[in-house]
Amino acid sequence: MAMTIHVDIVSAEGAIHSGLAEMVYAPAVMGELGIAPRHTPLVTQLKAGEVRVDEGDGKEMQHFFVSGGILEVQPHVVTILADTAIRAADLDEAAALEAKRRAEDALAGQQADFEHAKAQAELAEAAAQLRAIDKLRKTHG
């Protein structure tokens, strides 16, 4: 069998693919890369596109779509840290603004200082309630 390299494709939400391959193709920001076994160590950003894994032995090529991410190559391991979300500076910015706006809407008209005493008092009350329930359960149970 020909030389192989181990390929891991993982995203923040879970592992996508893991296995051996003869060749891996990935859409790097500087152009498409083909990675063969014993490739020199490399780190690059990926853009949206298709990652292809050639398992050799006449098997069909496997295709994975990534919307970006990071590719790390070591001589016998290729790791693709895939984004599941489509990322772009302005999209991220919009998401941040949206999150801010929601917070402002939700908290309109409240004071800015955290009232420690009030919070502590009500939390203590809640805890006391839970304890009372526990005690009731024990005496009854």
**The one among 3, 19, 29, 61 contacting another protein by CB under 8 A:** 29
CA angle 72, 31, 20 (to 5 degrees): 40
Q: Quote the least distance from Cβ 73 to another protein, whole Å.
A: 8
Give Rg (Cα) of the chain.
26
- Give the footprint of another protein on residues 78-137 (CB under 8 A): 79, 81, 83-85, 87, 92-100, 102-103, 106-107, 110-116, 118-120, 122-123, 126-127, 130, 137
Residues forming a β-bridge with 33: 26
CA 12 vs. chain centroid, Å, equals 2
Q: How far is the CB of 95 from another protein (least distance, A)?
A: 3
Asked if residue 139 binds another protein (CB under 8 A), the reply is no
Give the contacts of 77 (CB within 8 A, at least 6 positions apart).
5, 6, 7, 8
What sign results for the dihedral spanned by CA atoms 90, 93, 95, 98? negative
Q: Which residue ranges make up the site for another protein (CB under 8 A)?
A: 8, 10-15, 28-30, 40-45, 70, 72-73, 79, 81, 83-85, 87, 92-100, 102-103, 106-107, 110-116, 118-120, 122-123, 126-127, 130, 137, 140-141
